[in-house]
Amino acid sequence: MRRPRITVRRVMVAVAVGALICGVIGIWVAWLRAGVNVANYERIRLGMGGDEVVTLIGRQPDSSVLMLGRIAGPELFAFDGQTGWFRYQEWDGARITIVTISDPDSGRVLCRYSVPGPLDRLRQWRPW
């Protein structure tokens, strides 16, 4: 039985196909996360319902858990593990991560804040 020859052309075709697949996946992920941006973060108001936030962002949160803590301000939540139960929801985007803290019963937003997304964190490391 003959083994297939590995040629430069076959290697180039394999690299091109791999790059195309990575590009398509990257565009798809960016499109899915398009609603997670600074403009939508600024539209989130205290007292909004959880369904309103999901509609505004355009998708369900990436993370949604009950946590013990306390609200220390409109944009500050302290994870102290003892004060009260709150719903912590997080939407990850390329440039920003949006976090809302809401009442577990009514779903109303009590606190919101944002942190830089992974793309902006990578940009902070570059030397130029």
Would you say residue 91 lies in a domain? Answer: yes
Q: For the chain, give me the number of helices (H) and strands (E)?
A: 4, 5
Would you say residue 45 lies in a domain? Answer: yes
Closest by CA to 110, choosing from 80, 92, 86, is 86
Give the percent of the chain with pLDDT over 70: 86
Report the pLDDT value the prediction gives residue 101, as an integer from 0 to 100. 95
Could you give the 3-state DSSP secondary structure of residue 21?
helix
User: Could you tell me the two tokens for 14?
Assistant: 């394999």
Return the residue matching tokens 């919101």: 112
Would you say residue 25 lies in a domain? Answer: no
Residues 79/88, Cβ–Cβ less than 8 Å: no
Would you say residue 97 lies in a domain? Answer: yes
Range of the domain at 79: 36-125
Residues 126/120, Cβ–Cβ less than 8 Å: no
Would you say residue 100 lies in a domain? Answer: yes
Kindly indicate the confidence band of residue 64, based on its pLDDT and cuts at 50, 70 and 90: very high
Would you say residue 111 lies in a domain? Answer: yes
Sheet order of strands, 76-78 included:
76-78, 63-73, 84-92, 96-102, 109-116
- Local structure of residue 74 (DSSP, 8 states): T
How many folded domains does the chain comprise? 1
Would you say residue 16 lies in a domain? Answer: no
pLDDT in tens, 105-124: 999 999 999 988 877 767 76
Residues 46/112, Cβ–Cβ less than 8 Å: yes
User: Could you tell me the two tokens for 90?
Assistant: 């997080």
